[in-house]
Amino acid sequence: MRSDSSLPDHLILREFQFPSDFTQVINLWKNAGPGIQLRRSDEKDEIIKKLQRDPDLFLVAEIDQVIIGSVLGGFDGRRGMVYHLAVDDFYRKRGVGSALMNELENRLKQKGCIRSYLLVTRENINAIRFYETSGWELMDLLIYGKDLDQLSSEY
C-alpha cells in the first residue's frame, strides 16, 4: 500500500481484518503504555459496529504478518476522529506512526473531511510531541463523556 525508504523493511500498511487481527491489535493497545486506555468501546462487539461504519479507516502496519502498529479513525460526515494510534516500542521513531497517520489523513480527505480531532492524555508526553511535530494543534476545550448505558467493563 505504501513504500518509503525510511520505513522498516517489509512494512505493509493495510486495513484491519476482523476477526483475524483483533487479538494482535488488542495486545498492541494493551502494551502501548499509559496513553491508550481501553474501554468497553474496544471490545469485540463494539469493534464490529465500528467496522460497519467505515472499515477503511482502521489501519494496521505489519511486518511478516506481525502487527506492529495500528490506528483507528472515524468520520461522521462532518469531522474526522483519530483513536488509538499505537506502535510497538521496538518500531517507534522509525516512521511507522507517521505512515499510519498519513494514510489515515489521506483517506479522511478522500471522504471530504476538512477537519479532524484526536484526544491525548496529558501525561502522554511522547504522543503530544509526535502530534505537534506532525502539524496537530492544541485546542483549548473541555471534553465531556457519558456512558449512555451506564454499564462499564474493564479489560
Domain extents in the chain:
11-133
Q: Can you read off the three cell numbers belonging to residue 7? A: 520505513
DSSP H or E stretch at residue 125: helix 125-133
Instruction: Summarize pLDDT for 17-75 with one digit per residue, the tens.
Output: 999 999 999 999 999 877 788 989 999 999 999 999 999 999 999 999 999 999 999 99
User: Would you state the pLDDT for residue 152?
Assistant: 55
> In this predicted structure, what is the pLDDT of residue 151?
61
CATH of 11-133, one of 3.40.50.10890, 3.40.630.30, 3.40.50.300, 3.40.640.10: 3.40.630.30
Burial of residue 47, with CB atoms counted within 10 A of its CB: 0-12 exposed, 13-18 middle, 19 or more buried: buried
Q: What is the pLDDT of residue 2?
A: 44
* Residues 84-138: tens digit of each pLDDT: 999 999 999 999 999 999 999 999 999 999 999 999 988 889 999 999 999 999 9
